[in-house]
Amino acid sequence: MPYELYIALRYLRSKRKTGFISLITYISIVGITIGVAALIIVLSVMNGLEREVRSRFLGVDSHLRLVRQDQEPMADYHKLMQQLQGLPHVQAVSPYVEGKGLIKSREQQTGVLLRGILAESATQVTDLAKNINFGQLELGPTAAPGEPELPGIVLGFNLADRLMVTVGDKISIASFDGLFTFGRMPQLMQFRVTGYFETGLFEYDDAYAYVSVSSAQKLCKTGNSVTGLEMRLDDYEKADAVARILQQTLPAEYRPLTWRELNPNLFAWMQIEKWAAFIILCLIILVAAFNILSTLIMVTMEKTREIGILRSMGASQSSIQKIFTFQGALVGVLGTLLGDVIGYTLCRLQQVYKFFSLPTDIYIISWLPVDMKVLDFVFITVAALLISFVAAVLPAARAAALDPVAALRYE
């Protein structure tokens, strides 16, 4: 063990003439511990929330979409589907039609975002069928006792609640395409409610309705064309890579959209929140670092005579600087390690036992989610140690600059 480190450890453990200095040292360790633990817990919780939102979003939407640059309907989609199914990482492809309309029940009417899908292939692209909590994903002709057959429709849970309808009820939809075209009557169709879906994402549950592709084509007047194609990949993180392949192999008239690009504001805002939390909680570590700085300044004043003795015995300026740098760094290391252990332990306990619950009428999940990432631990640990080291440099340099003769005369 280098003698500089040995002396630093002795200084750290020895009783001070002024007990106040020891108190500040303990406060510094506690401050760094709290800051590091809080950073780990908060970032892990935000990672967990992001994971839950992403899993719910990908449960009703695809990993990757392909649309036309001019937003016009896609007529030649059958050949494109075959081409896409041969690409690496692509597991399933399905066409879809999107449109806007006015949906009306006996009691209420409201705007609706209409989505036409092929039920047999769409279930391979999304997990919509798993999110149906009442009824079933039946979009073909369905009949009720004593009533004619009508195409089926699946509504978002909140939308069905606002319309005051249940499975088996009839609703009408008017396409906005017809409503805003001069001289043309709006296209009106009747449907029978066959189920509700609930994702936990308000923008889906409150506004979306699913019908068959053929019904959506009639309402939106797209003929045999579709809005685009949606794909499921073997790994959603490969969406950007597959999108680049599509840009290189397909004509310029087509545009791939990844799951991040479909909801840019949501995921960008979550990243901003993570950085904001990181910066705010780093202030706790900074306060502790200032305590390290002030502690070492007072220690150098208290140990001035000892510094003079060490210098007279042959210790160099760099050795004196190392002693006090080591002392400050040891405070940082101790606080950081304690913070890492406490943060990991609390996060792990939450993962296993789910001590902290959330009100289900406000949040989409019933417990506080936690997702610990190694990179977060490394980044937080390095940042805390770096701040502690920088805080120790100034008083260490001041101690090294003391004149040995003047230091020996110091009382």
What does 133-193 look like in DSSP terms, one character per residue? EEE----SEE--TTS--EEEEEEEHHHHHHHT--TT-EEEEEEHHHHTSTT-PPPEEEEEE
| Percent above pLDDT 90 for the chain | 43
Kindly tell me if the per-residue pLDDT of 14 is higher than 90: no
117-128 residue pLDDT tens: 998 888 899 988
**Of residues 343, 359, 351, the one with CA closest to residue 51:** 351
DSSP state at residue 362? T
Q: 372, 28 in Cβ contact below 8 A?
A: no
Average pLDDT over residues 315-321: 73
Strand pairing class (150-156; 188-197): parallel
Check residue 302 and give its pLDDT.
Answer: 66
User: Six-digit token pair at 181?
Assistant: 């075209």
Beta strands in 165-271 (DSSP E): 170-175, 188-197, 208-212, 228-233, 254-258
Between 237 and 20, residue with greater pLDDT: 237
User: Six-digit token pair at 267?
Assistant: 């995921």
Phi, psi of 49 (to 5 degrees): -65, -45
What does pLDDT average to over the chain?
Answer: 84
Kindly tell me if the per-residue pLDDT of 183 is higher than 60: no
Q: How far apart are CA 146 and CA 137, in angstroms?
A: 22
How deeply is 295 buried, as exposed, middle or buried, from its count of CB atoms within 10 A (0-12, 13-18, 19+)?
A: buried
Between 391 and 242, residue with greater pLDDT: 242
Confidence category of residue 305, pLDDT binned at 50, 70, 90: low
Check residue 29 and give its pLDDT.
Answer: 85
Between 325 and 384, residue with greater pLDDT: 384
Best-predicted range by mean pLDDT among 26-30, 285-289, 331-335?
331-335
DSSP state at residue 15? P
DSSP state at residue 206? T
Phi, psi of 346 (to 5 degrees): -65, -40
Q: How far apart are CA 233 and CA 61, in angstroms?
A: 12
Q: How far apart are CA 354 and CA 351, in angstroms?
A: 6
Between 314 and 354, residue with greater pLDDT: 354
81-129 residue pLDDT tens: 999 998 999 999 999 999 999 999 988 999 999 999 998 888 899 988 8
Residue carrying the six token digits 């992403």: 54
Check residue 197 and give its pLDDT.
Answer: 92
Check residue 160 and give its pLDDT.
Answer: 94
Alpha-carbon distances of 116 from 99, 151, 194, 342, rounded to whole Å: 8, 12, 15, 50
Check residue 185 and give its pLDDT.
Answer: 62
Give the length of the chain: 411
Confidence category of residue 257, pLDDT binned at 50, 70, 90: very high
Kindly tell me if the per-residue pLDDT of 142 is higher than 80: yes
Check residue 361 and give its pLDDT.
Answer: 66
Geometric angle at alpha carbon 307, from 302 and 310, rounded to 5°: 150
- DSSP calls for 30-72: HHHHHHHHHHHHHHHHHHHHHHHHHHHHHHHS-SEEEEETT--
Average pLDDT over residues 48-54: 87
Q: 67, 228 in Cβ contact below 8 A?
A: yes
Neighbouring CB atoms inside 10 A of 70's CB total 8
Kindly tell me if the per-residue pLDDT of 181 is higher than 60: no
Q: 224, 152 in Cβ contact below 8 A?
A: no
Kindly tell me if the per-residue pLDDT of 147 is higher than 90: no
Alpha-carbon distances of 353 from 140, 368, 372, rounded to whole Å: 44, 11, 15
Check residue 258 and give its pLDDT.
Answer: 94
Confidence category of residue 339, pLDDT binned at 50, 70, 90: very high
Average pLDDT over residues 13-36: 72
